[in-house]
Chains A and B, each alone.
Chain A
């Protein structure tokens, strides 16, 4: 047994004896009644792919910038650790950070709850009353850090506004998550109308800015400098940015999504209108719901379903992942331009190898893929590519270096190529009369709307 296999076996063994507390179903029902709301939001995602989307007469294409798996060197990790250390060494921030007695008592209480010898010190990095909550971020320095581990653990503590140290630290025995260079949290009781607060923190000396969504252009410095707090009345659609020593290290949307109270029937109707291929309302609604939650303020409008249909003949990638099934393609305009997209493929039967029932491929385009005349090209894996065409198309032609390399028949506004595509490939959709009804060129660009995370860089 290799060491990797041993690791995985030990992980599995750890939960061998894990048994649920009594009556799981009854407890779900009770919690459901107590929550009194139809939960909003959702989550889903996709994979890397070479893609293109374009309308007549010219199309654009983009490619997910898949990082080199070997690029995360020790050097990168050391940079992350250095920023984490800098955050740990920062003075306490927040409106109550000046209460030295409280801060010291809190740090002491947290430290005393830890296993003897595991940590050498506890520090309060943030303390404030925000909305109805008293919130603290506490970090602990490991007594014997090792190069591959986080040197610090962290824990958010929450109690009622004005809580005593004892109440705030009542549940501080469990710490664990490594202290990352940038931390943010959103806090709520989770019910309809319950106040939501947001807090984000970076090392002292860094500067927070925020910009209103969806334009995300008018960046304004946060008065608090190296941290950011949003009380309930201040929570809004926006992006946050952190600049340290003149370098933007973090940039991304604040937590939240476009339909926080759920998607209305009118919004569903708009999202599902004009779907090419063979619409499947149930699948489409599920994807719209999921990507509303997943993309959040990285996009400027609710996801729209632009194509649904069968994907046949795509086969399996080298890693064994299958790509045949029922596809649903959703897109949304990205902050900063371009479009985010995702193709979800629902398998007819659960894949016996992976035991999964669906897979997905994320993509981005420069032009509007929801335009009915657009041609959308999404590489599924090295040997299969999906082309979504205008509804009137009957054939697709792929031209590479001036030569036609594929010409599959279109069915239900789509065709599967038994090959991957390359930047520069021209993909034309033609109708029964041979007229070009859509064309695009495959490009090699990063996905639009991606957040910035540069803590691993020098």
Chain B
């Protein structure tokens, strides 16, 4: 059990930020993302030895948790984060771009958002996204296409602005 625990601790310490990024895009909030990753890790902890691919497993758990609207009711931390603070070198357009894409992501249906996160941020092939979401590859293609189109629409005006000298 000690070695299991060591393995789990090492995993948490090395992969936590990666999981947090996925969770952030799913939830849109740093605090909600922490909550989602923590919940998924608690679920994984009890069966650590039996999980052969922890990252894939945790992605699945987080997405199911999030998209099934399973709401854990408890005293929540107050959500104040919009997106992670950035300073200094950001240009106004870059900030506007993130704001636009953020809002567009929040407007997507949860499962479409999950497709975008897994396909384009986790960089999984369509087949693996379908596996994680429990749908066909065709559905992944469809949702990815529609979701990306909306993100594109959100960014297009700013991209035009960016291209103007």
Interface residue ranges, A against B (CB under 8 Å): 3-4, 6-8, 10-21, 24-25, 27-28, 31-32, 35, 38-39, 42-48, 64-69, 71-72, 77, 133, 146, 148-150, 153, 156, 158, 171, 173-174, 176-178, 180, 183-190, 255, 282-283, 285-286, 289-290, 293-294, 317, 319-321, 344, 346, 353-360, 362
Contacts and interface: CB of A to CB of B under 8 A. Distances in A.
Nearest to A37: B46
A174 B31 CA distance: 11
Contacts of A184: 69
Contact of B12 (A11, A25, A353): A25
Contact of B148 (A7, A25, A320, A353): A7
B69 A25 contact: no
Given A45-B130, A319-B125, 5 more contacts: A14-B24, A39-B47, A69-B138, A149-B107, A354-B125
A187 B73 CA distance: 7
B115 interface: no
B36 interface: no
A187 B101 CA distance: 30
Contacts of B98: 10, 13-14
A42 B65 CA distance: 10
B155 A10 contact: yes
A429 B155 CA distance: 56
Instruction: Report, as a range, how many residues of chain B touch the other chain.
Output: 35 or more
A372 to B, nearest CB: 27
B1 interface: no
Contacts of A346: 52-53
Interface string B121-148: 1111111101111111111011001101
A10 B101 contact: yes
Contacts of A353: 125
Given A20-B34, A71-B142, A39 B42 contact: yes
B47 A31 contact: no
Which 6 residue pairs across A and B have the least CB separation, nearest first?
A45-B134, A66-B138, A176-B106, A357-B53, A48-B136, A69-B141
13 contacts: A3-B156, A3-B159, A11-B105, A15-B84, A28-B42, A32-B46, A66-B138, A184-B69, A186-B71, A189-B72, A286-B47, A358-B52, A359-B128
Contact of A356 (B56, B73, B116): B56
Nearest to B156: A3
A11 B120 contact: yes
Nearest to B136: A48
B142 A317 contact: no
B72 to A, nearest CB: 5
Contacts of B152: 3-4, 7
Interface string B103-125: 01111111000001000111111
B146 A43 contact: no
Given A13-B98, A20-B17, A156 B69 contact: yes
Contacts of B55: 357
Contacts of A149: 104, 107, 150, 153
A150 B68 contact: no
Given A18-B24, A38-B46, A48 B9 contact: no
